[in-house]
Amino acid sequence: MRRVLSVTSECVPLIKTGGLADVAGALPAGLAGQGWQMRTLLPAYPGLIKQAAAKTAVFTFDDLMGGPARVLAGTAGGVDVLLLDAPHLYDRPGGPYGNPTDFADNPLRFAALSSAAAQIAAEGLSDGWRPEVLHAHDWQAGLAPTYLAQLGCEDVATVMTVHNIAFQGLAPAAMLGTMGLPLSAYTSEGLEYWGQISTLKAGLVHADAITTVSPTYASELMRAEFGMGLEGVVAARADRLSGILNGIDMDVWNPQTDAQITPYSATSLKGKATNRKALMSEFGLSGLTGPLAIIVSRLTSQKGMDLVAATADQFVAAGGGLAILGSGDPLIEDQMRVLARNHPGKVGLRIGYDEALSHRMFGGGDVVLVPSRFEPCGLTQLYGLRYGTVPVVAATGGLADSVIHANTMAQSAGVATGFQFHPIDEMALAQCLRNVITLFSDKSGWTRLQKRGMKQALGWEASSAAYAALYESLIGEHRSAT
Ligand code: ADP
Ligand code: GLC
């Protein structure tokens, strides 16, 4: 087996706040099918060592950014995990980043993760394992390629994956020394970003290759509307950039075996009707003549929830219903509460995070609504396809790449799988929802749309093959350079 070290701050089934965890947790199985053993380094947040039965110490640090640390090997959900046990940084309550506000020392906490990854890659673990590739995810792992270069290690290839460029890992320049970085790294060609350190920029500049989680987001990243100030940095490395669409875990998300729902399949959707009834009663909804739309989302400005609030009146008036599950920005949570209060029996809301309920929602919903202002990949539209819960999405990023819009041509060609709207504003969403309601009333047309979605290839096969090919090509480059 070839060897790759994945470096991440979240990984299913151990710890999750968003899609990064799903991807980090599913990628290893996909890559195993390509002949790659992926081991995943992440912080030992409280409880994780026990959960992963991680007992064997495979690396030790006398001092990792202010205290002793070690790496413990274990497994969780089939993922080979390496837990970075550094109590001074990670043994505290409050989620991986702190809650409700971020921990003040987050830059240091994740610089430590990146530094540990680089040391492991340079020296290898005590069990004899040493990676050929270091794969860093998001700003939390962004400094790993920089640290690796600092160690003078040239035989390990590096990949930086951007899951969301909105999070840039900013830290005061004064932290350079504490993070163990030389002043020479602090240049505009290096990790300096408007007078601060950006750990994501460090990764974008220093990694051998940059990937992001959909082809459309890859091209959007080079434009000012989406690059969030880093568009120039990305564009300068366009020849090193690619977009690889995420897959989903086809076993966890399988309407035929999902323990949360009455099972159904593309051959018979009967169980879905039962699930719909149950879901409506769970959310206190009744008397819908139109589609039941679900939303499972972080409630943040990225996710376009203001558009939902603005168009819900019309949607409900036309017979539609809404079941919303999410948490996030307190102001947006309040906006959703107002929406539910204004539409009793038609709009139901659960504030919180509930994995089991999310499964029941995909099982019972007619439509999943994803009106994001930007979306690097997005996973819920993929779950929607898998469950015959037709995705209605903003035409951006991975949403644009994974849903085929049901316009007249796509419908008559028999390829449509959902609905897209553009521009990403109230008017376009309202118009799109009118089209959804019209097609919903055509029972056989709607069923065709559902079944086509359910038959899409949504697993990790194609994407892991693309990652494996990228790793190979980078290793080839390293070999010919040395
Ligand atoms: P992002 O990572 O930007 O939040 P994604 O669509 O990539 O968006 O991934 C979100 C993941 O988190 C999905 O697996 C989704 O089902 C899940 N999720 C989001 N909010 C909730 C919630 N309130 N309860 C349960 N699952 C949620
Ligand atoms: C980020 C993005 C989301 C993507 C996920 C996994 O959280 O916001 O679009 O699906 O990462 O790559």
DSSP string for residues in 205-269: HHSSEEEESSHHHHHHTTSHHHHTT-HHHHHTTGGGEEE------TTTS-TTT-TTS----SS--
| CB neighbours of residue 222 within 10 Å | 18
> Is a pLDDT exceeding 90 seen at residue 85?
yes
Decide if 206 contacts 237 (C-beta within 8 A).
no
Decide: 161 in ligand 2 pocket, CB within 6 A: no
Rounded distance between C-alpha atoms, residue 203 and residue 191, angstroms: 8
Quick one: DSSP state of residue 338? H
Nearest residue to 411 (alpha-carbon basis) of 444, 378, 460, 368: 444
Q: How far apart are CA 438 and CA 431, in angstroms?
A: 11
Ligand 1 within 6 A of 380 CB?
Answer: yes
Distance 281 CA to ligand 2 centre (A): 31
Does 482 score more than 80 pLDDT? no
The tokens describing 302, both together, are 């990225």
Looking at the chain, the whole-number percentage of residues with pLDDT higher than 70 is 100
Which pLDDT score, from 0 to 100, does residue 101 have? 87
The answer to the question of residue 11 being in a domain is yes
Whether residue 286 is found in the same domain as residue 243: no
The number of the ligand 1 atom at minimal distance from the alpha carbon of 381 is 6
User: Is residue 265 included in any domain, yes or no?
Assistant: no
Q: Calculate mean pLDDT across residues 162-184.
A: 96
- Residue 152: which domain range? 2-247+461-481
Do 219 and 359 lie in one domain? The reply is no
DSSP for residue 126? T
CB 93 within 8 A of CB 46: yes
Q: Token pair of 371, please?
A: 């009106």
Q: Are residues 177 and 297 in the same domain?
A: no
203 Cα: distance to centroid of ligand 2 (angstroms) = 18
Beta bridge partners of 197: 171, 192
Q: Write the residue with the smallest CA distance to atom 26 of ligand 1.
A: 355
Q: Report the alpha-carbon distance of residue 352 to residue 340 in Å, rounded.
A: 15
**Are 274 and 233 in the same domain?**
no
CB of 378 closer than 6 A to ligand 1? yes
Single out the residue of 212, 202, 217 nearest to residue 240, CA to CA: 212
What is the chain's length?
A: 482
**Does one domain contain both 99 and 216?**
yes
Mutate to test the pocket of ligand 2, among 137, 140, 377 (most ligand atoms within 8 A of CB): 377
The structure tokens listed for 68 are 């002793």
Please give the Cα distance from 21 to 272 (Å, whole number). Answer: 28
Shared domain for 232 and 306, answered yes or no, is: no
CA 385–ligand 1 middle distance (angstroms):
15
Task: For residue 60, report the distance from its CA to the centre of ligand 1, in Å.
Answer: 34
Same domain, residue pair 302 and 447: yes
How many domains does the chain fold into? 2
What's the pLDDT band for 100 if we cut at 50, 70, 90?
confident
* pLDDT attached to residue 481: 81
Cα separation, 373 vs 344, in Å, equals 28
pLDDT at 99 (0 to 100) = 79
152 in any annotated domain: yes
Shared domain for 243 and 388, answered yes or no, is no
Within a domain: 256: no
Q: How far is the CA of 379 from the centre of ligand 1 (A)?
A: 7
Centre of ligand 1 to C-alpha 19, Å, is 6
Asked, for residue 115, whether it belongs to a domain, the answer is yes
Q: State whether 81 and 211 are in the same domain.
A: yes
For ligand 1, say whether the CB of 398 is within 6 Å of any of its atoms.
no
Backbone angles phi, psi at 369, to 5 degrees: -100, 125
One DSSP character per residue, 289-321 reads: SS-EEEEEEEESGGGTHHHHHHHHHHHHHTT-E
> What would the pLDDT profile of 36-49 be if each residue is shown by its tens digit?
999 999 999 999 99
Residues 230 and 350 in one domain: no
391 in any annotated domain: yes
Q: Which of 1, 3, 2, 9 is closest to 161 using CA atoms?
A: 9
Using an 8 Å Cβ cutoff, are 348 and 341 in contact? no
Atom of ligand 2 nearest to the CA of 398: 9
Please compute the mean of the pLDDT values over residues 464-472 and round it to a whole number. 98
Torsion of CA 396, 398, 402, 405, to 10 degrees: 0
Q: Does residue 305 sit in the same domain as residue 173? A: no
Residue-level pLDDT at 94: 87
pLDDT at residue 463 above 80? yes
Same domain? For 238 and 292 the reply is no
Say whether pLDDT at 480 is over 90: no
In a domain, residue 341? The reply is yes
The closest of 232, 233, 379 to 296, measured between CA atoms, is 379
Pairing status of strand 133-137 against strand 157-162: parallel
Residue 261 in any domain: the answer is no
pLDDT digits (tens, 9 = 90+) for 343-379: 999 999 999 999 999 999 999 999 999 999 999 999 9
271 has a pLDDT exceeding 90 = yes
Cα–ligand 2 centroid distance for 19 (angstroms): 5
What whole-number distance in Å separates Cα of residue 436 and Cα of residue 319? Answer: 12
Is residue 301 in contact with ligand 1, taking CB distance under 6 Å?
A: no
CATH, residue 435? 3.40.50.2000
**Nearest-angstrom CA–CA distance, 356 and 360:** 7
**Smallest-distance ligand from the CA of 213:** 2
For residue 100, cis peptide bond before it (omega within 30 degrees of 0): yes
